[in-house]
A and B are shown apart, each in its own frame.
Chain A
Amino acid sequence: MSSQDIPEEKLPAEPGAAHGAVKVADEDNPFADPGLPPHEHRIQDIDERAAKRSERTVALLFTVSMLATLGFIASYVWIPNDKSIYIWPLGHISAMNFALGLTLGVALFCIGAGAVHWARTLMSDAELADERHPIEASPEVRAKVHADFKQGAKESAIGRRPLIRNTLLGALTLVPFSGLFLLRDLGPLPHEKLRHTMWAKGKRLVNMNTNQPLRPEDISTGSLTFAKPDGLEEEGNEEYQTEIAKAALMIVRLQPDNIKDKRELEWSHQGIVAYSKICTHVGCPISLYEQQTHHVLCPCHQSTFDLSDGARVIFGPAGHALPQLRIGVDSEGYLQALGDFEEPVGPAFWERG
């Protein structure tokens, strides 16, 4: 609706100086506060029909919200939870999930949209100026509060009866300890658990895929194999997850000439190297192995380790190299560990050293 449609006489009288007409620019002081711009009326302020229309729109939005809520309840009750439907462009989707999300979304959105439309078109839009005042109380009020406090202290006789005062202080001091002692349940401290895994001298390396001990000839150059310590079974073992989280191993075979790190070569067996599968950053299982570059990438934060150079960190947030397990071959020709990891596996912790 353009301004021409509204007859001039229907415009209410301007509130005047309270909202202020624009002041003439002061020649002497160009930085003077120009005050608020003149208030302009909305269509709804002067045209009762427009106001009615807005009212109906708001009521319609609230009604749609009510219907959507009823739809939500109906979908929950009547749509079978294994029904799948096709909706463009979402594709196949669970009918109940879709109906619940849609109805709840519409119900909430319509309440908000109705409230905003109400505020924008019907509630008063006059600009108000609220002066800021110092928050300090007046001297009389402060004097009275002081006097009241003093009188209260005198009447409670806290100064005269130290027994009450001291026992109250004692009680208030002790109360927080009850909460403090509950924190003990966050313990006990891990002590040496973080420093040791199941690997020990003579433990065979067992293939995760087949549950069979590995032989060196099983591991070909360019292959990737995951291993766990012999005797670690998943069935009926409560500690399985705890143990495998520390002991998980990845095994690759490199050409011995390609191994740049002297210790790595010593701890390998004919170029077969065994590294912890747990990232030293925050402990994600890390095994995105690129067989041509010998790089291992962590999927969580892209820490990259060079397996041909002592699993040194070459990129990313990891703090130290992946721990290597020293391996050899037992009398029957199976790969075996020659001890535990020399350092704690996984992320660093305060006392790691």
Chain B
Amino acid sequence: MKKLSARRRHPLAAVVVLLLALAATGGLYTAFAPASKAKADESAQSLTIEEGKKLYEVGCASCHGAGGQGTTDGPSLVGVGAAAVDFQVGTGRMPAQQPGAQVPRKKVIYTQAEIDQLAAYIASLGAGPSVPTKAQYSPEGADIAKGGELWRTNCAQCHNFTGKGGALTHGKFAPNLEGVQPKHIYEAMQTGPQNMPSFPDTVMPEKAKKDIIGYLNAVNSDQTKNPGGLELGGLGPVSEGLFAWIFGLGALVVVAVWVAARTAKAKKS
């Protein structure tokens, strides 16, 4: 002991003590940490579901039923999966404001943490698609040309050539996809919200979904060249025709009035 104490002022003493302390902490951590962490995870998971259930009872149960079984006002949520919840609540569609032909996108009222809790609760009711990971939906590394081909085969009929949307029957519509998060586009393809058909992985593999997101990202970015200018919503012949009829014909009417108008007379009769 005396020897040790005598060397306590050695220049390297502090380093030795530090190393010993680090080794002790690391050893203790490896001995105890995994078990306690797993325990924490499990309880956190069940806690998330509990929290989600509470949120569900306040915000959703009036239409979707106390256990998510659905009522006349809202469909059953058993088996829709976490992806559907993340899409519907994450884009502000749910909770719905009023019944109607279609529930529109609006301001998101839950935080992402609350959405995750709701999603965890709904996912616990029955197996369904889970929320995609960033690697799945990120447009990076997508084959844009292939994405365009897939887009025109599967999506363009409703959402238009570059995702500007279009009209459906009885007040329903395919929404504009500009500015929609890639995650939500991925989830929409996976789950088929409202009247949109779903495109499950069995018929449209993960890579194809990523390519489609890459295509949308490419055609709607600020760098996209548009040689035509003034796209009038990008909706095609309807808005272009309306513009031509109102402004083109309007200009012609003005010119015709000018051509046929009386010229200024020298003296009033």
Contact = CB atoms under 8 A, between A and B. Distances in A.
Given A220-B200, A223-B200, A304-B169, A91 B267 contact: no
B130 to A, nearest CB: 16
Interface string A180-194: 000000000000000
B5 interface: no
A219 B203 contact: yes
B265 A90 contact: no
B265 to A, nearest CB: 4
Contacts of B230: 89-91, 93
Given A220-B202, A224-B154, A91 B166 contact: no
B194 A292 contact: yes
Given A116-B258, A120-B263, A226 B169 contact: no
Interface of A: 1, 3, 6, 11, 37-38, 40-43, 45-47, 84, 87, 89-94, 97-98, 116, 120-121, 125, 207-210, 214, 217-220, 222-226, 252, 285-293, 295, 297, 299, 302, 304, 315
A87 B157 contact: no
B198 A223 contact: yes
Interface stretch (B15-23, B41-49, B220-228): B220-228
Contacts of B158: 288
Contact of A40 (B166, B229, B269): B269
A40 B265 contact: yes
Name B's interface SS: loop
Given A3-B266, A207-B203, A290-B172, 9 more contacts: A40-B269, A84-B225, A89-B230, A97-B229, A223-B197, A224-B197, A226-B154, A290-B169, A304-B169
Q: Which 4 A-B pairs have the closest CB atoms?
A: A93-B229, A224-B197, A94-B227, A218-B202
B78 to A, nearest CB: 14
16 contacts: A3-B266, A41-B265, A84-B225, A91-B231, A97-B227, A97-B228, A98-B229, A209-B204, A210-B203, A222-B192, A223-B199, A224-B197, A224-B198, A288-B157, A288-B174, A292-B195
A40 B267 contact: yes
Contacts of B204: 209-210
Contact of B198 (A37, A220, A288): A220
B192 A214 contact: no
Question: Which of B192, B229, B266 has the most chain A CB atoms closer than 10 A to its own CB?
Answer: B266
B246 interface: no
B268 interface: yes
Nearest to A210: B205
B192 A291 contact: yes
Interface of B: 150, 153-154, 157-158, 166, 168-169, 172, 174, 192, 194-200, 202-205, 208, 225-231, 258-259, 263-269
A303 to B, nearest CB: 11
Nearest to B192: A222
Nearest to B194: A292
A40 B106 CA distance: 65
A116 B255 CA distance: 10
Contacts of B266: 1, 3, 6, 11, 40-43, 45-47
B183 to A, nearest CB: 20
A45 B266 CA distance: 8
Given A116-B258, A208-B153, A92 B192 contact: no
B175 to A, nearest CB: 14
Contacts of A42: 263-266
A318 B195 CA distance: 23
Given A11-B267, A116-B258, A288-B158, A93 B226 contact: yes
B208 A92 contact: no
A125 B264 CA distance: 12
Given A42-B266, A291-B196, A92 B225 contact: yes
Given A91-B226, A209-B208, A290 B195 contact: yes
